[in-house]
Chains A and B, each alone.
Chain A
Amino acid sequence: MAICQFFLQGRCRFGDRCWNEHPGARGAGGGRQQPQQQPSGNNRRGWNTTSQRYSNVIQPSSFSKSTPWGGSRDQEKPYFSSFDSGASTNRKEGFGLSENPFASLSPDEQKDEKKLLEGIVKDMEVWESSGQWMFSVYSPVKKKPNISGFTDISPEELRLEYHNFLTSNNLQSYLNSVQHLINQWRNRVNELKSLNISTKVALLSDVKDGVNQAAPAFGFGSSQAATFMSPGFPVNNSSSDNAQNFSFKTNSGFAAASSGSPAGFGSSPAFGAAASASSGISTSAPAFGFGKPEVTSAASFSFKSPAASSFGSPGFSGLPASLATGPVRAPVAPAFGGGSSVAGFGSPGSHSHTAFPKPSSDTFGNSSISTSLSASSSIIATDNVLFTPRDKLTVEELEQFQSKKFTLGKIPLKPPPLELLNF
């Protein structure tokens, strides 16, 4: 049979129905039953099984042609090697496959990884240039979990924020928080576009295992982690009423930490983090950053942390300086930045989110800051979630907590004990 030239170019319109031969796709295609893409061994498959043809404008003539084919003119070739997003396989990104993280992989896996990363880069470029909605999660391969570092905010949620701010006459803070979100997003996109080793490692672990492992990976090592972008707008509005809280679900941890100095928080509209509170909090910040790896993505920062107050961090955002010790938590800054706009929140409303439902919920209902709804109110911090009792820490960890700065490589994964925090 003649080899199909279009297939080789990745553009065969007939797919399975093609009368010419499609080399290589036969075997791979036949064996695969489940829709799930398996990275290993199927490096010819495009990550996107989208069929490219649907974007064609149908000319009248071709339209009438389609009718005889009736029913399922199956053009979709799921395992079609059309790299529309992965572009060329030859594109060298500047990272050779010989670098350590990849050395242990088999050639097939290596190729897959490479394609995956290329795909991600391409997607990021498209995302940036296309003007599409930026506050969205992203996953490089359809069925895989999301990459960390992106938060999902729907246009309606953002708009509601705007409406709420309108009533409080504090549009500037709304603008600020949106600007922060945009900056975070941009940073994350740039980070993904210019892949270096640490982001790559994190990405790959993200993709394989879901976002859970991201935190520790960042904890140890890369200074780029600073750009990691916990997106910071914990949009998980559980329990307490939240039309207003959309971003500021900081966890009770935060509140607890700050309970000592509500006034401090109240006073600074800008980044919510008052200097006075900072010192006390700074020590815990890094710890929080690393604490609870199981609490998934640093990205989801406050999201998926059921009990996890570990990200009490929002407060810290204002303190990049004090976070010098922990490489990570600087990104939290923007996260909280949103918090500052909370200033706008509490006021119109009425919502003192004193709804503190269950200790396990991390939603803080942030409106505290500028209003006197301070942080101090109502945070039900269950101690053993936020702070580990001293006896549960190993000697080494205790030492770390007690020292002035964390040493890289020895940063404890548990939150510090309450006693060590000095407000």
Chain B
Amino acid sequence: MSLFGTTSGFGTSGTSMFGSATTDNHNPMKDIEVTSSPDDSIGCLSFSPPTLPGNFLIAGSWANDVRCWEVQDSGQTIPKAQQMHTGPVLDVCWSDDGSKVFTASCDKTAKMWDLSSNQAIQIAQHDAPVKTIHWIKAPNYSCVMTGSWDKTLKFWDTRSSNPMMVLQLPERCYCADVIYPMAVVATAERGLIVYQLENQPSEFRRIESPLKHQHRCVAIFKDKQNKPTGFALGSIEGRVAIHYINPPNPAKDNFTFKCHRSNGTNTSAPQDIYAVNGIAFHPVHGTLATVGSDGRFSFWDKDARTKLKTSEQLDQPISACCFNHNGNIFAYASSYDWSKVRTPGPALGAPRQQSQALGSEGLGLSCDSSQDSHVSLGRSLSPPCKGKLQDFLKWLWGFSTAFGQNPAHRKCSASVSHYGLLCSWAQKHRQAGGCTL
């Protein structure tokens, strides 16, 4: 599979997107598209840790593969390597020193991929698909934590085929996050458990879910002293709950907010509600990004409890997102997340449609192929000024206008120039000179 040809950046996103005559909304934000995107939906994204110079992005997809790109400062993405599993890859993570990548898959195994030798070996085994995988680096031990649909959480020393520890979960593991010494696991049936990892992992507390529906994604945030202090939990109902572990005033400090809905302000009219597919916290500013099935991503400030920015709507749901280690790059994956399972229609054998709304396909049978998955990167300029909000604003500004300054970008937008819609957006933006929040 020689999918990694030499690339020259964008415009050649490996798809024939620009050939179609319909309005192409696959990249309304004019962000950089990563070249050689996976052939099927992207389930997870992860950027390399700060210990590795440069930025490397790993994406696991439903095409059973895990791909690695180097993302350069110019925005250029260079595909580097790929590994295969025998089942769709559900989660990926890096080791703390950036030399290994861990991948969890539906084939019930997890593998450790040594990037320097490009070898991958199996390090974990479960009885059901492995949904989450995280690297834990503690002062006195380090291990890989895998959560699976077999209702167990296992901790693996990569050298041994037996887990170091197995913890039982009340239900299937749906999502997890780890920032030492805290780990949070959200399970089916609205289960929520916090673990403490000092010395050895143990259950710290079971929390009653602050959300009324199925848990979809979770992300831990840190306080000003850089210690994990709480988490954000997203559900399928377009709602995110911010929950502190030991707040001074739980009733006031913990809250939920609605997001990824079609008409956020007007709650009385019927609205479309979309699942929150991923949550990521900016490593420096502490603001959070949410991506949803509606094809938008939004940035929020949880302390000021405000929404900072929402993107334009992409034509497909956004299934995963990730910040790089210093927060300069935000990557999001645009691919079908199986959310449109409403009425099975006569979709069997329907021709695959790219960049069309998926509503008519019912069970989404038509969306499992190449052209539909993209990973995009939002570039940004590092903000020079102080003050968190100021910083973030600037970052956003850079985020939305960076493309204008890069000649290669302009080339990209030129090639879509016959889509009047996109072009004018770009124009307006350049003239406005700032982002409209």
Contacts and interface: CB of A to CB of B under 8 A. Distances in A.
Indicate whether A and B interact: yes
Interface of A: 16, 32-36, 48-58, 60, 63, 66-67, 69-76, 78-79, 84, 123, 126-127, 129-144, 146, 152, 154-160, 162-163, 171-172, 174-175, 178-179, 182, 235-243, 300, 303, 355
Interface of A, secondary structure class, is loop
B108 A175 contact: no
Contact of A60 (B41, B237, B364, B436): B436
A163 B62 contact: yes
Contacts of B365: 162, 171
Given A146-B190, A236-B171, A138 B212 contact: yes
A49 B256 contact: yes
A133 B363 CA distance: 12
Nearest to A71: B303
Contacts of B188: 137, 152, 154, 235
A175 B189 contact: no
- B interface, over-half SS: loop
A155 B381 CA distance: 36
A151 B149 CA distance: 15
Contacts of A60: 436-437
Contacts of B304: 66-67, 69-71, 73
Contacts of B273: 126, 130-132
Interface in B335-364: 337-339, 341-344, 348, 363-364
B186 to A, nearest CB: 11
Interface string B277-314: 00000000000000000000000100111111010000
A55 B87 contact: no
Nearest to A128: B270
Given A175-B363, A178-B363, A146 B189 contact: yes
B85 interface: no
Interface centre among B149, B273, B300 (most CB of A within 10 A): B149
Contact of A154 (B151, B214, B265, B437): B214
B338 A178 contact: no
A136 B237 contact: yes
A54 B257 contact: yes
Given A76-B255, A155-B337, 13 more contacts: A52-B267, A130-B273, A132-B213, A136-B213, A136-B235, A140-B212, A142-B210, A155-B341, A159-B364, A163-B88, A182-B341, A237-B127, A242-B150
Given A34-B250, A139-B209, A84 B267 contact: yes
A140 B237 CA distance: 13
Contacts of B389: 67
A73 to B, nearest CB: 6
A235 B189 CA distance: 11
Interface in B176-216: 188-190, 208-214, 216
A97 to B, nearest CB: 25
Nearest to B211: A142
Contacts of B275: 132-133, 155
Given A35-B251, A131-B273, A152-B188, A243 B213 contact: no
Contacts of B208: 36, 142-144
A76 B171 contact: no
Interface string B135-157: 00000000000000111000000
